[in-house]
C-alpha cells in the first residue's frame, strides 16, 4: 500500500509584522498621550497606572518624557525645564500637589510600580532627577520643597533609579550653593528623611553619596564653618545631625594632631618644640583637656617599637618611651583630675593589651618619678579609683609601691 501525500499550498509564506498605528512616533505626541491618560482618569494614580500598563506607547524611547510629565505635567523643551509651548498639560503632577508627605508618597509608589513593570525606565528617572536638581533655581520655593520631600521618600522606599550620588553630586553647582538654594533643599530633605529613618541610615546614605565628611559643601562659601552648621541645623531641629558633625570634626582634627605628633616623635624633636605645636593645635581645635591626655598616651604607645624578641624587651621599650616623653605628658597633666584620667588610660590599655598587662606598676612608678603623677593622685586611684577594668589585679600589683608611698608620707 502507498500513502497519498497531503496537499500543500505552494509559494513562500510571508509573515507580516504587527504595527500599532496609533502609537505616537515623536516625543510631543507621546507626551500628549500620557497627559490624556491623566486627564481621562482625573489624576487617579491607580487608574493612570492601569491605563499606562495596557497602553502600547513607546516607553523605551521616550522614558525621559514620561517622567517629565509625571513630575511637572508636560514635556519640557530640550535642555531646559521650560514646558513645551504647544504641548498639553495636566494639573495632577508632583509639583501641583500639596507639599506634604501624605500627598507626595502616592507619586513615589506610582513610580515604584511603574519601574517594576518597566525596569528599563530606571535610567530615565535618573536622567530627569539630575536635570531637575541641577535646575532648582528655576523652580518656585514650594516646588523645590516638594522635590526635596519626594527625594527623601524615594530613599525611604528604596526606589530604584536614585543612587545617592545622583542626588547629592548634582546639587553642588556653585551658583545653586551660593544662593542658599542647596542648603534649603538639603535641609528639607534631611528633615523628611529622618521622620522615619535613623541618623545611622542617613549617614549611610551620605556615605554612599560621598558626602559623609562634606556637609559644609552644602553651605555658601561664606558660611562654611562648624559654628554656622551647628546654628543652622539646630534652628531646624536637626540636633542629632549637629552632634554627629561635631563628633566627626573632632575625629578629623584628632587624626591631624595625632599625625603631626607621631611624625615629631619619630623624628625625635625637642620636647619643648613638640609641646608648643601640640598646644597650638589643641587650642585651634578647642579640644577638651581630658581628650588631649588620652590622645598623648595613645600616640606615645603607638610609637613604641614592639619588635622585641621577648616580653622583657618590649617592656623595656615601653618604659624608655615613657621616660623619654614624660616631659610632654607633664606639660598637659596640669591638675589632679587630668592625672587621674591618665592613670585610667594606662589602666585600660594595660588591661586590653597582653604585652602591657604586667607593666602597669612600673609605668605608674616611672610617671611618679618623672613628676607626671602626684602621690595624692596615685593614692586616690588606689583607694577609690572607679575604672573597673582589671582593677583588682592592678591594685594588688601596685600595693608594694603604694605601701612605700604611705610609709614615706608617715616619715615626713
Confidence of residue 175 (pLDDT cuts 50, 70, 90): very high
- In the chain, pLDDT over 70 holds for what percent of residues? 92
> Residues with Cβ < 8 Å from 239, sequence gap 6 or more?
233
Give the mean model confidence (pLDDT) for residues 241-267: 91
* Per-residue pLDDT at 6 exceeds 70: no
Give the mean model confidence (pLDDT) for residues 196-224: 93
Report pLDDT for 9: 44
Q: Give me the chain's average pLDDT, please.
A: 89
- At 335-351, the pLDDT tens digits run 999 999 999 999 999 99
Cα Dmax for the chain: 137
Give the mean model confidence (pLDDT) for residues 43-58: 93
Tell me how far apart the alpha carbons of residues 92 and 38 are, in angstroms, rounded to a whole number: 7
Q: Comparing 205 with 166, which gets the higher pLDDT?
A: 205
Report pLDDT for 351: 93
Report pLDDT for 316: 87
* Per-residue pLDDT at 10 exceeds 60: no
* Per-residue pLDDT at 411 exceeds 70: no
Q: Comparing 359 with 160, which gets the higher pLDDT?
A: 359
Give the mean model confidence (pLDDT) for residues 178-182: 96
- At 59-102, the pLDDT tens digits run 999 999 999 999 999 999 887 788 877 778 999 999 999 999 99
* Per-residue pLDDT at 141 exceeds 80: yes
- At 255-277, the pLDDT tens digits run 999 999 999 999 999 999 999 99
Report pLDDT for 5: 54
Residue length of the chain: 412
Give the mean model confidence (pLDDT) for residues 306-311: 72
Report pLDDT for 310: 75
Report pLDDT for 4: 52
- At 142-170, the pLDDT tens digits run 999 999 999 999 999 998 878 898 889 99
Q: Comparing 81 with 333, which gets the higher pLDDT?
A: 333
Report pLDDT for 286: 86
* Per-residue pLDDT at 21 exceeds 80: no
SS (H, E, C) the chain: CCCCCCCCCCCCCCCCCCCCCCCCCCHHHHHHHHHHHHHHCCCCHHHHHHHHHHCCCCCCCCHHHHHHHHHHCCCECCCCCCECCCCCCCCCCHHHCCCCHHHHHHHHHHHHHHHHHCHHHHHHHHHHHHHHHCCHHHCCHHHHHHHHHHHHHHHHCCCCCCCHHHHHHHHCCHHHHHCCHHHHHHHHHHHHHCCCCCHHHHHHHHHHCCCCCCHHHHCCHHHCCHHHHHHHHHHCCCHHHHHHHHHHHHHHHHHHHHHHHHHHHHCCCCHHHHHHHHHHHHHHHCCCHHHHHHHHHHHHHHCCCCCCCCHHHHHHHHHHHHHHCHHHHHHHCCCHHHHHHHHHHHHHHHHHCHHHHHHHHHHHHHHHHCCCCCHHHHHHHHHHCCCCCCHHHHHHHHHHHHHHHHHHHHHC
Residue 277, beta-bridge partner list: none
Amino acid at each position: 500500500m502507498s500513502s497519498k501525500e497531503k496537499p500543500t499550498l505552494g509559494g513562500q509564506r510571508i509573515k507580516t509584522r504587527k504595527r500599532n498605528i496609533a502609537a505616537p512616533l515623536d516625543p510631543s505626541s507621546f507626551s500628549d498621550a500620557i497627559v490624556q491618560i491623566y486627564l481621562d482618569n482625573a489624576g487617579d494614580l491607580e487608574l493612570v497606572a492601569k491605563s499606562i500598563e495596557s497602553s502600547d506607547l513607546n516607553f523605551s524611547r521616550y522614558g525621559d518624557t514620561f517622567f517629565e510629565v509625571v513630575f511637572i505635567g508636560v514635556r519640557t523643551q530640550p535642555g531646559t525645564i521650560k514646558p513645551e509651548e504647544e504641548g498639553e498639560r495636566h494639573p495632577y503632577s508632583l509639583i501641583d500637589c500639596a507639599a506634604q508627605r501624605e500627598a507626595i508618597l502616592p507619586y513615589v509608589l506610582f513610580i515604584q510600580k511603574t519601574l517594576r513593570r518597566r525596569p528599563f525606565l530606571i535610567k530615565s528617572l535618573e536622567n530627569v532627577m539630575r536635570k531637575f536638581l541641577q535646575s532648582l533655581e528655576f523652580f518656585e520655593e514650594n516646588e523645590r520643597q516638594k522635590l526635596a520631600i519626594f527625594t527623601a521618600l524615594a530613599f525611604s522606599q528604596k526606589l530604584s533609579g536614585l543612587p545617592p550620588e545622583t542626588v547629592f553630586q548634582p546639587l553642588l553647582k556653585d551658583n545653586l550653593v551660593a544662593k542658599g538654594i542647596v542648603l534649603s533643599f538639603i535641609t528639607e530633605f534631611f528633615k523628611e528623611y529622618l521622620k522615619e529613618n535613623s541618623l545611622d541610615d542617613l549617614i549611610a546614605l551620605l556615605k554612599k553619596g560621598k558626602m559623609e565628611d562634606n556637609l559644609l559643601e552644602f553651605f555658601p562659601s561664606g558660611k562654611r564653618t562648624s559654628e554656622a552648621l551647628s546654628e543652622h541645623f539646630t534652628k531646624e531641629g536637626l540636633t542629632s545631625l549637629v552632634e554627629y558633625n561635631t563628633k566627626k570634626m573632632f575625629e578629623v582634627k584628632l587624626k591631624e594632631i595625632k599625625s603631626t605628633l607621631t611624625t615629631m616623635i619619630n623624628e625625635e624633636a625637642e620636647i619643648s618644640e613638640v609641646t608648643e605645636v601640640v598646644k597650638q593645635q589643641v587650642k585651634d581645635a578647642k579640644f577638651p583637656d581630658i581628650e588631649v591626655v588620652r590622645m598623648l598616651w595613645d600616640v606615645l604607645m603607638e610609637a613604641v617599637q614592639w619588635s622585641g624578641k621577648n616580653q622583657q624587651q618590649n617592656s623595656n621599650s615601653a618604659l624608655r618611651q615613657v621616660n623619654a616623653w614624660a616631659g610632654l605628658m607633664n606639660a598637659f597633666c596640669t591638675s589632679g583630675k587630668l592625672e587621674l584620667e591618665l592613670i585610667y588610660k594606662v589602666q585600660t590599655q594595660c588591661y586590653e593589651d597582653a604585652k602591657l598587662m604586667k607593666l602597669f606598676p612600673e609605668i605608674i612608678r616611672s610617671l611618679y618619678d618623672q613628676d607626671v603623677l602626684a602621690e595624692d593622685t596615685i593614692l586616690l586611684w588606689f583607694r577609690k579609683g572607679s575604672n573597673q577594668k582589671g582593677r583588682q589585679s592592678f591594685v594588688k600589683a601596685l600595693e608594694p609601691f603604694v605601701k612605700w608611698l604611705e610609709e614615706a608620707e608617715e616619715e615626713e
